[in-house]
Chains A and B, each alone.
Chain A
Amino acid sequence: MVDKKEDIDLKLIKYTQEGLPVTKTPYKDIGIAIGISEEEVIQRLKNLLETGKIRRLAASIAHRKIGINANAMCVWKVSDERVDEVGKIMAKFEEVTHCYERPTYSDWEYNVFTMIHGYTDEECEAVIAAIKKQTGLNDCVILYSEKEFKKVGVRI
C-alpha cells in the first residue's frame, strides 16, 4: 500500500530527477510546480537524504568531458577472511569511486570489484599498484571499457 506521504515523495523525486531548477530559490520553485510549500520540499528532501533513499543531492558530472577519460574496473581475488580489511583500504583511495564484494562462480573467481576513474590509464594503474603494495594482493584483472553502449543515471 502506498500512503500519501510516499506519494508526495515519489512526486518530488520524479519532478526533480532530471534536474533541479537552477534559480535563486529552487526549492520554492519545485514546491510551486508540485503543489507543496518550500518548507515542505526542504523537509522532505532532508528526510529522503537521512533515510538514505537519495544518496546525494548533487551534480552528476560528465567525467569524460572534463578530461577524466580512463575508467578501469579492477577485479581482485581476495580470501573471505581478508575481504573487510582490504575493502576498507581500497575505499580510501580518492580515485576508487566504487568498491564492492560480489559472488564468484566456477568460471569467475574475482570477488572484490573496484571502479577506478582517472585522467589517464597510467593514473589508474598507479592506483592499482598502490593498492597492491598496501594490501599485498597480487591477483587482479584490469578491465578497461572498450565501448560504452549505455550510461544513464538511475531513474524511477
Chain B
Amino acid sequence: MILCDTDRKILHRLQSNLPLVSRPFEALSKELGIDEDTIIERIKYMIDNKFVRRLAPIINTQAMGREATLAAIKVPEERIEEVSEIINGYTGVSHNYLRKGKNKDIPYNMWFTMSAKDDEELRSNLKEIEDRTGLVVRSLPTTKKFKIGVKFKIY
C-alpha cells in the first residue's frame, strides 16, 4: 500500500483546518485542483488503511478546562511491562514511551502524557501511580508553550 502524489497533496492540506462551509471537500477541490469525489474517495481510502488516524476536532485539553502534564519515571528493566500496563490503564494517558538518551544517560526511562479534568484529579492519579508501583513519578507540566501543532512535512 502506497500513497500516490494526489494522496500526499490531500494529506498535506488536511493537516490544516477543514473549511467550515456546507461542502468542505468541494472547497478543497478548488484549492487543490482535484475533484470533490476523488478527494472524498481518497480520504476514505487513507482512513480505512490507517494512514490517517482520524479527521476530527483536535481538542485543546487546557482550554476545555483540563490539566495535563508530561511525567517521567525510572522503571527497573524487569518491571517495564507491568508498570506500562498500570500507566496505560488511565484513560487520560495519551502517550507512553520508553526513551533512552542517545548522547547522555538520563535518570528516567518511561515518559507519558496524562490529562485529567482538573489539577486535583491529575495529582491524585499521579500519586496513585506512585502508590501502585512504589516508584517516584516526576511531573513536568508545561510552563511556557512555544509551539504545538503537529504538521508533518509530507513529500
Contacts and interface: CB of A to CB of B under 8 A. Distances in A.
B52 to A, nearest CB: 5
B67 interface: no
B151 interface: yes
Interface residues of B, number: 75
Interface of B: 3, 11, 14-18, 20-26, 36, 40, 43-44, 47, 50-61, 63-64, 66, 70, 72, 84, 87-88, 91, 93-104, 106-108, 110-112, 115, 138, 140-154
A60 B53 contact: yes
A100 B17 contact: no
Chain A interface SS verdict (over half)? mixed
Interface string A7-33: 000000100111110111111100000
A97 B149 contact: yes
Given A100-B146, A141-B103, A149-B96, A60 B153 contact: no
Given A53-B60, A56-B16, A148 B97 contact: yes
Given A25-B22, A49-B17, A62-B51, A17 B144 contact: no
A101 B3 CA distance: 36
A28 to B, nearest CB: 7
A130 interface: no
A119 to B, nearest CB: 9
Chain B interface SS verdict (over half)? mixed
Interface in A93-115: 94-103, 105, 107-108, 113
Interface of A: 13, 16-20, 22-28, 38, 42, 45-46, 48-49, 51-63, 65-66, 68, 73, 83-84, 87-88, 90-91, 94-103, 105, 107-108, 113, 117, 140-156
Q: Which of A27, A59, A60, A105 has the most CB of B within 10 A?
A: A59
A149 B20 contact: no
Contacts of B112: 149-150
A153 B54 contact: yes
B18 A103 contact: no
A87 B142 CA distance: 13
